[in-house]
Amino acid sequence: MRRAVLSWVAAALASGVSCAADAQLPALHEATAPPTSAANDGSHTIVLRAQSLIDGTGAPPRRDLDIVIRGNRIVEISATGSRPVPEGADVLDLGSLTVLPGLIDTHTHIFLQGEDPNAGGYDVQLLKFPASYRVARAIVSARRALEQGFTTIRDMETEGAGYGDVGIKQAINESVVPGPRMWVSTISISSTGGYPLEGYAPEITVPKGSQLIDGPVEARKAARQQLDHGADWIKVYMTHRSWLDVNGNLVSQPTLTLEELKAIVDETHGWGKKVACHAYNGAGLQRSLDGGCDSIEHGLELSDAQIAQMVKQGTWYVPTLQVYYTDWDPADTDAGKRDRKRAEIHGVSFTKALRAGVKIAFGTDVGGFGWSQPIAEEFLREVQLGMTPMQAIQSATSRAAELLGQRGLVGVIAPGAYADVIAVAGDPLADVGALKNVQFVLKDGVVFKKDGVVFKSAVGVGHAP
């Protein structure tokens, strides 16, 4: 997708069907339980046999383990052969594959498809596509996430598709369609002049890809409306257009005032929910921090003072690196120069933030690029810019779970966690690119994908699915 498009694209708690808390749950001081699938009746036992396990916590890989899953929860992990296989259990031997927790992408857009500007780009979706068509494509996107091993996503607004994400989340939770656990942010909020559609005759009223507000009263009302209709997070655009000034520095247009943002944050926190702020740099990013945003999305240019403020406040950083390295305009154009500058300063900011101890969660902006491209490409960029492969894995597992307020429940393989497990060929600690080739996906205790995996039942302990 072109950067001109990306400038506005780059931009939970389950209230639907969720599992009743049970005695296995870790202390839930942070949040409501995540959405779970209705496909699992809670009675079946599976033993996943893993020769190599990376559990998501950052601990070194462990060898030769049996992961016992009852219903949709992991109940026990023990050395293979050290305990009898539970009666009636299916034993799925994952052989030499590396086993990991289901991955988490904390910045997705299932209602975007990496639109080709030559095919109408962003605008045609809002102007010409029936809502039903957009929903149909979003369902495929959700499935694509799961196929790639992403069993949880935080979807960062529907780009003109209203509350469509709320309905898709419900359909996934009720097992009407396959997909990841979703935290949704519905319509998002920006200011007048702060989001497309743009460039049309002023006499024509066109739809907008965000709810545009002016003033703290409207800001609070928009947050209330979105929360009332099912938003798990509120997404706010704190910068919009960006360009290079005469000295070649990136400048981004701030959108909401500090007072407007504070009204949204105050309201959202009152509902026990959080605010994600799209912010590139400059005044808009500073307002995001001063106004109490819980996560900074993109954060192309972070000053040392802003990094220190993020550390002090515990603000999350969801950099979405890879999307800024693709599809640049020609080098000799203004847009092309800006594209290159963005990627350059973004990498510097990421590395500095990492070294300073800013909390970083994996996010990709997928949808801003096509869902057919590997989401896991982001891991390679994280490692190139300074993360260890283990840190990169944590950013999409335990760290991302922490951002979502789901520590111990998703993004980890441990007793009490939901049974979201993937397996990949090769060793992602040696080559993080191995995460692009997910061969096995279990979500909520149900096998979704088992490409090339031959299950071997243990003698006398039932059948492999």
Min dist CB 318 to Zn ion, Å, is 9
Among the listed ranges 10-18, 170-178, 180-188, 452-460, the one in contact with Zn ion (CB under 5 A) is: 10-18
Query: Would you give the binding string for Zn ion spanning residues 362-391, x where CB under 5 A is met?
Result: ---x--------------------------
- Residue 111 vs 418, nearer CB to Zn ion: 111
Binding mask 144-163 for Zn ion (x = CB under 5 A): ------------x-------
Please, which residues have CB within 8 angstroms of residue 203's CB and are 6 or more apart in sequence?
A: none
Nearer to Zn ion, 366 or 447 (CB): 366
212 φ, ψ (degrees, to nearest 5): -95, 130
Which residue, 40 or 106, is less far from Zn ion as judged by CB?
106
Of the candidates 102, 103, 104, 100, the one whose C-alpha atom is nearest the C-alpha of residue 62 is 100
Q: Determine, following the binding rule CB under 5 A, whether residue 339 of this chain makes contact with Zn ion.
A: no
CB of 278 to Zn ion, least distance (A): 7
- In 238-306 the beta strands, taken as DSSP E runs, fall at 239-244, 250-254, 274-279, 295-298
β-pair type (150-155, 181-184): parallel
β-strand pairing of 233-237 with 274-279: parallel
Give min distance, CB of 232 to Zn ion, in A.
16
Of residues 281 through 320, those in contact with Zn ion by CB under 5 A are none
Please state whether the peptide bond connecting residue 197 to the residue before it is cis, i.e. omega within 30 degrees of 0. yes
Of 109 and 181, which CB lies nearer to Zn ion in the complex structure?
109
189-208 footprint of Zn ion as x/- string (CB under 5 A): --------------------
- Smallest distance, Zn ion to C-beta of residue 256, A: 17
What's the CA dihedral at 119, 123, 126, 127 to 10 degrees? -80
- Residue 11 or 182 with smaller CB distance to Zn ion: 11
In the set 5, 11, 91, 307, which binds Zn ion (CB under 5 A)? 11
Q: Which is nearer to Zn ion, 156 or 401 (CB)?
A: 156
Cα 360 to Cα 387: distance, rounded to the nearest angstrom = 10
Dihedral of the CA atoms 105, 109, 112, 113 (nearest 10)?
10
CA 173 to chain centre: 17
Please report, as ranges, the residues that interact with Zn ion according to CB under 5 A.
11, 156, 365
